[in-house]
Amino acid sequence: MTTEILADAEAVAKRAAMYIAEQAQIAVSARGRFIFAVSGGRTPWVMMRQLTREDVPWADTDIVQVDERIAPSGHADRNLTSLVDCLRDAPFRQEQIHAMPVEDQNLDAAADRYGRLLQTIAGSPPVLDLIHLGLGPDGHTASLVPGDPVLDVADRAVALTNVYQGRRRMTLTFPVLNRARRILWVVTGSDKAKALAQLRHGDTTIPAGRIQQDRAQLIADSAAAEWA
C-alpha cells in the first residue's frame, strides 16, 4: 500500500480528488470507461465537491455506491443524498450515478439486482476501476462491521447487514472490493488513529485489514496517522 500523510483534512480531500481524476483518465484511456465506487460516512463529501473542480472525463464515468443505509429517498442518513448534492455542478447525467435500491420492500432481491447491475457495467465478475473506502474507529470499512455475518459473504457482490448505528445497510462485499483495480483509502481524524495503525500493519482482526493492499493508495491526515 502506497501512503501519503498530509497536514489536515482539507489537504487530504484535495489530494484524494486529484488521485481520483488521475485514475479516471487512466481508466478511460485504457478501457473507454471509468467505474468509480464511493463510500459513505462523514469523510468523503469535501473530496467529492473538490472532484467537480478536477479534470474528470465525466461523460465516460459511472459512479456506484460502496454502501448505503436503509432509509427513505432524500433522507439525511442516505449517502446518496450527500453524493448527489456534492456532484450537482458536475457536467454529467444523474443516471450515471447508480443508487443502491434500498427503498425496495424485498431488500434481498434488491441487493441481488444491484449485483447484476455491477455485472452489466463492470463485467462478470465485476471489476471496478477505483473503490474509495473510509475507515471507522472500530476498524470497519464500507458497511463491513466487526461481528456482522456479512463479513463471511463470499458468493454475492452485494449483501445486507444487521443494524449498525440504528440502521441496516446494503454494502459491497469483500470479493468485489478485493477485485478492484485500485483502492483509495481516505482517512482523517485522531479517532481513526488506532484503526489506521492496524490497517497499515495488515491486521486481519479488523474488517479493513481484510482488504488487499497491493493495489491500494492511502491518503491520511497527520491526526489519523499519529499511531502509525
pLDDT of residue 41: 77
Length of the chain (residues): 228
Reported as a pLDDT band with limits 50, 70 and 90, residue 228 is low
**Run of H or E residues at 218:** strand 216-221
DSSP-derived 3-state class of residue 214? coil
Mean pLDDT of 74-87: 92
**119 assigned to some structural domain:** yes
**212 assigned to some structural domain:** no
Reported as a pLDDT band with limits 50, 70 and 90, residue 74 is confident
What is the per-residue pLDDT across 87-99, written as a single tens digit (0 to 9) for each? 998 998 889 999 9
**211 assigned to some structural domain:** no
Report how far residue 115's alpha carbon sits from residue 176's, in angstroms, rounded to the nearest whole number.
10
What is the per-residue pLDDT across 8-46, written as a single tens digit (0 to 9) for each? 999 999 999 999 999 999 999 999 999 999 998 777 999
What is the per-residue pLDDT across 135-148, written as a single tens digit (0 to 9) for each? 999 999 999 999 99
List the CATH number of the domain containing 129: 3.40.50.1360
Burial pattern 181-217, b for ≥16 Cβ within 10 A else e, equals bbbbbbbbbeebbbbbebbbeeeeebbbbbbeeebbb
**50 assigned to some structural domain:** yes
**106 assigned to some structural domain:** yes
**198 assigned to some structural domain:** no
Query: Domain limits at 10?
Result: 2-167+180-187
Calculate what percentage of the chain has a pLDDT beyond 70.
Answer: 100
**Number of folded domains in the chain?**
1
pLDDT of residue 227: 74
**25 assigned to some structural domain:** yes
**201 assigned to some structural domain:** no
Overall pTM > 0.85: yes
